[in-house]
Structure 1
Amino acid sequence: MAVALPPKPVWNQLIKSGCRVFVGGNASVPYALIQDLIDHSTGFSDIEMVHMLALGDTRWASEKHRQLFKVNTFFIGGEEVRRAVDEGRADYTPCFLSEMSGLFSDGTLPLDAALVNVSPPDEYGYCSLGASVDICMSAVRNADVVIAQINDMVPRTSGHSYIHISEITACIQSDQELVEVAPPPIDSITERIGQYVAMLVEDGSTLQFGIGKIPSATLKYLLHHKDLGIHSEMLTDSIIEVIESGAITNRKKTFHPGKLVTSFAIGTRRLYDYIDKNPHIEFYPSSYVNKPTNIAKNDTMVAINSALEVDLTGQVVADSLGHDFYSGIGGQVDFVSGASMSKGGKAIIALPSTAKGETVSRIKPCISEGAGVVTSRGNVQYVVTEYGVAALRGKSIRERALELIRVAHPKFRGQLLEEVRKNYWVPHYQEKYPTDIAELGAIQLQKLVIQGDTYYLRPLNPADERRLQEFFYSHTKETLRLRYNYDPKQMSREKSCNLVSVDQRTDAALCIVRQEGSRIMIHAVGRFYFNPADNSCEAAFVTRENQQGKGMAKLLLSRLIDIARARKMRRMLAYVRAENKAMIAIFENAGFKRLFSSDPSDVELELKLEEEA
């Protein structure tokens, strides 16, 4: 049975000059409807157009319509809207995405009208808001009049995405494609960021991610994960491959199990067709999807968001470049808060370490003048760049600074440390900044599975000062005597700092750690000291007592030998107590030969690297 449609809009009967009009946004802007308003705008002026991100042709924000429309956007995007904000002709209103709907319902921003893009009504008279439920549903419920573009190109999405034809005051029929945004190409820097972020994602996690290169790169490295779920404000094309790979099942979700939950979609026609009538993907308003307490109902919730810059205390700038507003708060704070409250959750900020052709560091001593903090230093748990993962939760300002310097671009690390020494309490003995081991390759973190447990092998760095101190005090007297040839009583912070502040370009120091959230424990350390006099190095290692016998020392020694060979060193030496049979065996199994020693209590071993090579 055909459903009768509302009449065409007679604009001067529906709105008037000076009124506030909501415009459906993201990829589902009702362009034909807006053009119809423009075509019949004689006598109108000063209409406030309120919207979120609006993609495509945002003609209402152009200079030629400045007397007709005044833009008030919650998220800056689109060429005309950005220019209007920059020139002061448009306003940017910062607001958490979870709270935008409340501005309409509580009368803070009362709406005279809502312009939305909807699917044709079904046989029961229900139209779908399709790919943009977000704050559209609240606008429809709270506007005095609802004017719709009935569009056969709008997908019918499941969930809470439907409005009845009786709720629509007037409409036009116009089939227009939704704006298409293809997945961006992934460069090598983004690829490395994606690999590091994927390492933080455990099987069974529920994910949130936004648009851009980093989410796409991360999803690429999740194809072999198991039982992932999605509770995210938005979807992109990148999600389809991960669903089809079987990595996303949603079965382990503890909130809406079995269902992928979202609020809006931005992608290509492939994505819009994929969500059309798909019962496994449900769209809900942003006030529901982005509500932190709802997000936290998902165990192991992982929120992946980006930033424009991060300062050395962990403050995140995401909506402004200095005094210039660039985007919006969006849902970052909602999901960072929700993930932080989730059982086993992780809040991740991922960004490239530099901007403007590696001339500017995005890791900064302090935020740029005029820039605003979107996510506070108290909320962020992880910051990821192409140089690694900085774990900030529970860290002091000094520890945070050292962690963040470690993931900054190498050419800025020395400068950042100097700034820290000026502005934050960093002890006088903290003189060296972290360096990478080039021989480990672009990814300095290697995941290990040893007897069913997950560990990570990586370079030792200045941020490990306290962890190495804890490692030292975990040893028995016997371990200390065998390692140091005497019984040291103390490992001061200064001495620990000296041991972890390694110039990895000459010497090398590796560790194997167990990491659960921001809880990091060192289980084994291996290092060599370079001797330029004869192009040799001296190696040593120590393993936590309860981890001995698992092959950690063997693994560390193997990596150190590889590094020394790559640096074309002549030989590697080791000095071991004669009674330390286990350590001697590890060296000899690696090819070391005993040398004559005048002291029977010590064994000197040598590996001729050039001959082996």
Structure 2
Amino acid sequence: MTISLPPAPHWQKLLKSGCRVFVGGHASVPHALMQNLIDNSQGFSDIELVHGLALGATPWAREEYRRLFKVNTFFIGGAEVRRAVDEGRADYTPCFLSEISSLFTEGALALDAVLINVSPPDEFGYCSLGASVDICMSAVRHTKLIIAQINAEVPRTTGHSYVHISEISACIEADEPLVAVEPPPVDTQAERIGQYVSMLVDDGATLQFGIGKIPSATLKYLCHHKDLGIHSEMLTDSIIELIESGAVTNRKKTFHPGKVVTSFAIGSQRLYDFINNNPHVEFYASSYVNKPTNIAKNDNMVAINSALEVDLTGQVVADSIGHDFYSGIGGQVDFVTGASISKGGKPIIALPSTAKNETISRIVPSISEGAGVVTSRGNVHYVVTEYGVASLKGKSIRERALELIRVAHPKFRARLLEEVRTHYWVPHYQEKYPTDIPELGGIQLQKLQMQNETYYLRPLNPADERRLQEFFYSHTKETLRLRYNYDPKQMSREKSCDLVSVDQSTDAALCIVRQDGSRITIHAVGRFYYYPEDNSCEAAFVTRETHQGKGMAKRLLVQLIDIACQRKIDKMVAYVRAGNKPMISIFEQHNFKRVFSDDPSDVELVLKLEEAAL
């Protein structure tokens, strides 16, 4: 079967001044076709060019073409487009990626023509949009005129990525590689964020992610997970490693099982080769992939997105730095919404805690003047920085502020607490800001498997005030008597606040928690108090009755001994009620020795830490 190509474009017959033209974007901008238009633009003026992120050179956005073209972009990227927006020569139109197609169909941005980059037609005449189906397909389906660059370098991708040659009115043949974007080097900061995010991902989850250091680091730490799936507006090189590791099988997906679902790809030539004729990777329009109700059809949907800043109520700024528009809304809200309503879903905002060489905190008391909220405080479930995971769903403003201060850079925590105190977001008795335990290292969260259940060991912090109060009221009278030597009747918020507001560089307070979605429950607490007069510390533990016998106290004790040894404390002391034989046994198993006590109802145990460190 012979396939005839459409004629070369006679631009003066196809377009006219003042028309609106869509240009395919991302890594698959039809650069040669655009240059052909520029070279043959005599007599044209005020053509509106609509596109999303356009990678590579964008000469049409230069000052010299301001009378010929007016750029209207959904996502600001590249120096020339950004400069044009900053100088007022180009427009930025904010819109959820899932809803951009409606701008074409409903006439808000009615299109006169579409310029796309496609593969050569197959034996049946079908060309593929390749690595950029996204909003291109919607534009193609809602335009009067399709003009194409037939490019042998465009990969043929499966899914709904095809345009028949008979639909194309004019074309040029020009082979040029897609714009390659090499994976960024992953630094220590991104590594830590990636580790924390990976701890929120369960086996069998379906993932969405973007591009950059943090997604690359996160995917690296997911290589030992099982039966992961992918439903993501975007693919990057990291997906290859994850698939090759065997972590991605798409077997547990509940929407398009067995397939990676996406709408565009940005990466190296290796990625473009990977998606070429790959039946396991399917491309669909953004209106389909990003539709929140479609996203939610995936159980355990985990959406990983980034931000420029997050305020202490959980508002997310992602497209602007103050009054300066920086990028775009993209698909963040689509996937945050979809993951929120997914069964077992987790929307995550991951970002570095600082910017500009640690001179600016990205966790802020209030968003910068002129900045816009992309994702509202009601949508955010988790915020992750290199200092930990803040869990926000169902939290009050006070609890959110304390959670977010905890994951801010340590040098900004005191100032952030001072700021929110002026607004009465935290009570007057909340005087201490969260501190880390240096001896735990860069990752202050340890994932534990106990009797086939997952728990987390981490420092106790001011955001745990209500959780510790709940923990206290869960105890029986017997547990309280054994722990406190009497039967306390009340744990006030003030008292709970005092117990969780610990200077972790002097004393140490750890907890073991269970996290079910956004609900965090404390099941065990262990701490020591430091006494500088004789360089000793006193240890104490309490475990929820329903979780005794699982080894939680032992795990906490081992960790506290290690911290005390690293701090070169001479000895650790414990005072245990004589009737609390299980706790006495735990201490003695770790080489604590009984010493004489004046009170026969108490047992005093001592561990010489110099011997424990050997």
TM range (shorter): over 0.9
Match of 2:108 in 1: 108
Contact 2:306 2:349 in 1 (8 A): yes
The one-letter amino acid of 1:532's match is: P
Q: Kindly state the Cα deviation for residue 425 of structure 1 after the two structures are TM-superposed.
A: 2.7
Match of 1:357 in 2: 357
Question: For 1:444-483, what aligned pairs fall within 5 Å after superposition?
Answer: 444-483=444-483
Q: Kindly state the Cα deviation for residue 594 of structure 1 after the two structures are TM-superposed.
A: 1.0
Match of 2:490 in 1: 490
Range with bigger deviation, 424-433 or 15-24: 424-433
Output the CA distance in 1 between the equivalents of 2:153 and 2:425.
Answer: 59
Q: Which runs of 5+ in 2 are unaligned?
A: none
CA offset digits 1:73-100 (Å, max 9, x no partner): 0000011000100111000000000000
CA offset digits 1:180-201 (Å, max 9, x no partner): 0011000000000000000000
Range with bigger deviation, 576-585 or 308-317: 576-585
Match of 2:550 in 1: 550
SS in 1 for 2:425: coil
| Backbone CA RMSD of aligned residues | 0.6
Question: For 1:77-92, what aligned pairs fall within 5 Å after superposition?
Answer: 77-92=77-92
Match of 2:338 in 1: 338
Q: Kindly state the Cα deviation for residue 508 of structure 1 after the two structures are TM-superposed.
A: 0.1
The one-letter amino acid of 2:9's match is: P
Q: Kindly state the Cα deviation for residue 456 of structure 1 after the two structures are TM-superposed.
A: 0.4
CA offset digits 1:247-298 (Å, max 9, x no partner): 1011110000111100000011111111011111000000000000000000
Question: For 1:140-179, what aligned pairs fall within 5 Å after superposition?
Answer: 140-179=140-179
Output the CA distance in 2 between the equivalents of 1:232 and 1:588.
Answer: 53
Match of 2:258 in 1: 258
Match of 2:580 in 1: 580
Contact 2:401 2:425 in 1 (8 A): no
Q: Kindly state the Cα deviation for residue 517 of structure 1 after the two structures are TM-superposed.
A: 1.3
Output the CA distance in 2 between the equivalents of 1:337 and 1:347.
Answer: 8
1:219 is the counterpart of 2:219? yes
Q: Kindly state the Cα deviation for residue 140 of structure 1 after the two structures are TM-superposed.
A: 1.0
Match of 2:405 in 1: 405
Output the CA distance in 2 between the equivalents of 1:458 and 1:561.
Answer: 15
Q: Kindly state the Cα deviation for residue 2 of structure 1 after the two structures are TM-superposed.
A: 2.3
Match of 2:57 in 1: 57
Output the CA distance in 2 between the equivalents of 1:551 and 1:269.
Answer: 50
Match of 2:129 in 1: 129
The one-letter amino acid of 2:442's match is: A
Output the CA distance in 1 between the equivalents of 2:246 and 2:570.
Answer: 50
Q: Kindly state the Cα deviation for residue 423 of structure 1 after the two structures are TM-superposed.
A: 1.6
Output the CA distance in 2 between the equivalents of 1:500 and 1:176.
Answer: 60
Identity %: 81
Q: Kindly state the Cα deviation for residue 210 of structure 1 after the two structures are TM-superposed.
A: 0.6
Question: For 1:500-515, what aligned pairs fall within 5 Å after superposition?
Answer: 500-515=500-515
SS in 2 for 1:7: coil
The one-letter amino acid of 1:257's match is: P
The one-letter amino acid of 2:23's match is: V
Q: Kindly state the Cα deviation for residue 612 of structure 1 after the two structures are TM-superposed.
A: 3.1
SS in 2 for 1:166: helix
Match of 1:425 in 2: 425
**TM-score w.r.t. length of structure 2:** 0.99
Question: For 1:370-385, what aligned pairs fall within 5 Å after superposition?
Answer: 370-385=370-385
1:205 is the counterpart of 2:218? no
SS in 1 for 2:149: strand
Range with bigger deviation, 587-596 or 113-122: 587-596
Question: For 1:291-302, what aligned pairs fall within 5 Å after superposition?
Answer: 291-302=291-302
Question: For 1:498-537, what aligned pairs fall within 5 Å after superposition?
Answer: 498-537=498-537
SS in 1 for 2:433: coil
SS in 2 for 1:542: strand
1:308 is the counterpart of 2:308? yes
Output the CA distance in 1 between the equivalents of 2:290 and 2:316.
Answer: 19
CA offset digits 1:141-185 (Å, max 9, x no partner): 111111000000000000000011111010000001000001100
Output the CA distance in 1 between the equivalents of 2:226 and 2:158.
Answer: 25
Question: What is the aligned residue count?
Answer: 613
The one-letter amino acid of 1:426's match is: V
SS in 1 for 2:576: strand
Match of 1:416 in 2: 416
The one-letter amino acid of 2:457's match is: L
Match of 1:285 in 2: 285
The one-letter amino acid of 1:332's match is: Q
SS in 1 for 2:542: strand
Output the CA distance in 2 between the equivalents of 1:427 and 1:102.
Answer: 47
Output the CA distance in 2 between the equivalents of 1:416 and 1:97.
Answer: 34
SS in 2 for 1:372: coil
Q: Kindly state the Cα deviation for residue 550 of structure 1 after the two structures are TM-superposed.
A: 1.2
SS in 2 for 1:53: coil
Match of 2:180 in 1: 180
Output the CA distance in 1 between the equivalents of 2:96 and 2:210.
Answer: 15
The one-letter amino acid of 1:231's match is: H
**TM-score w.r.t. length of structure 1:** 0.99
SS in 2 for 1:390: strand
Q: Kindly state the Cα deviation for residue 424 of structure 1 after the two structures are TM-superposed.
A: 3.8
Match of 1:607 in 2: 607
Contact 2:208 2:230 in 1 (8 A): yes
Match of 2:29 in 1: 29
Output the CA distance in 1 between the equivalents of 2:56 and 2:612.
Answer: 62
Q: Kindly state the Cα deviation for residue 489 of structure 1 after the two structures are TM-superposed.
A: 0.4
Q: Kindly state the Cα deviation for residue 43 of structure 1 after the two structures are TM-superposed.
A: 0.7
Q: Kindly state the Cα deviation for residue 611 of structure 1 after the two structures are TM-superposed.
A: 3.4
Range with bigger deviation, 477-486 or 578-587: 578-587
Q: Kindly state the Cα deviation for residue 454 of structure 1 after the two structures are TM-superposed.
A: 0.4
Output the CA distance in 2 between the equivalents of 1:588 and 1:223.
Answer: 40
Output the CA distance in 2 between the equivalents of 1:285 and 1:442.
Answer: 40
Output the CA distance in 2 between the equivalents of 1:544 and 1:420.
Answer: 33
Q: Kindly state the Cα deviation for residue 49 of structure 1 after the two structures are TM-superposed.
A: 0.5
Q: Kindly state the Cα deviation for residue 526 of structure 1 after the two structures are TM-superposed.
A: 0.3
SS in 1 for 2:146: strand
SS in 2 for 1:348: strand
The one-letter amino acid of 1:460's match is: L
Question: For 1:35-74, what aligned pairs fall within 5 Å after superposition?
Answer: 35-74=35-74
Output the CA distance in 2 between the equivalents of 1:424 and 1:214.
Answer: 34
CA offset digits 1:320-349 (Å, max 9, x no partner): 000000000000000000000000000000
Q: Kindly state the Cα deviation for residue 516 of structure 1 after the two structures are TM-superposed.
A: 1.1
Q: Kindly state the Cα deviation for residue 64 of structure 1 after the two structures are TM-superposed.
A: 1.2
Output the CA distance in 1 between the equivalents of 2:39 and 2:424.
Answer: 59
Q: Kindly state the Cα deviation for residue 549 of structure 1 after the two structures are TM-superposed.
A: 1.1
Q: Which runs of 5+ in 1 are unaligned?
A: none
Output the CA distance in 2 between the equivalents of 1:28 and 1:302.
Answer: 27
Q: Kindly state the Cα deviation for residue 610 of structure 1 after the two structures are TM-superposed.
A: 2.1
SS in 1 for 2:297: coil
Output the CA distance in 2 between the equivalents of 1:234 and 1:578.
Answer: 61
Range with bigger deviation, 155-164 or 135-144: 135-144
Output the CA distance in 2 between the equivalents of 1:62 and 1:181.
Answer: 23
CA offset digits 1:96-122 (Å, max 9, x no partner): 000001101111101111000000001
